[in-house]
Chains A and B, each alone.
Chain A
Amino acid sequence: GAVVSQHPSRVICKSGTSVKIECRSLDFQATTMFWYRQFPKQSLMLMATSNEGSKATYEQGVEKDKFLINHASLTLSTLTVTSAHPEDSSFYICSARGLGTTSGFFGPGTRLTVL
Chain B
Amino acid sequence: AQKVTQAQTEISVVEKEDVTLDCVYETRDTTYYLFWYKQPPSGELVFLIRRNSFDEQNEISGRYSWNFQKSTSSFNFTITASQVVDSAVYFCALSEAQYNFNKFYFGSGTKLNVKP
A106–B50 Cα gap in the complex (Å)? 14
A95 within 8 A of B: yes
For residue A109, which residues in chain B have a CB less than 8 angstroms away from its CB? 43-45
B91 within 8 A of A: yes
Contact among B43, B101, B107 with A102 in the assembled complex (CB-CB below 8 Å): B101
For residue B91, which residues in chain A have a CB less than 8 angstroms away from its CB? 43-44
Q: Which range contains the number of B residues in contact with the other chain?
A: 10 to 19
Q: Which residue of B lies closest to A103 (CB)?
A: B50
Chain A binding site: helix, strand, loop or mixed by DSSP? strand
For residue B20, which residues in chain A have a CB less than 8 angstroms away from its CB? none
For residue A45, which residues in chain B have a CB less than 8 angstroms away from its CB? 106
A1 within 8 A of B: yes
For residue A36, which residues in chain B have a CB less than 8 angstroms away from its CB? 104
A105–B44 Cα gap in the complex (Å)? 11
A106 touches B102 (CB 8 A): no
B106 touches A43 (CB 8 A): yes
A97 within 8 A of B: yes
A1 touches B47 (CB 8 A): yes
Q: What 7 A-B pairs are tightest by C-beta distance, nearest first?
A: A108-B44, A106-B45, A102-B101, A109-B43, A44-B106, A43-B106, A43-B108
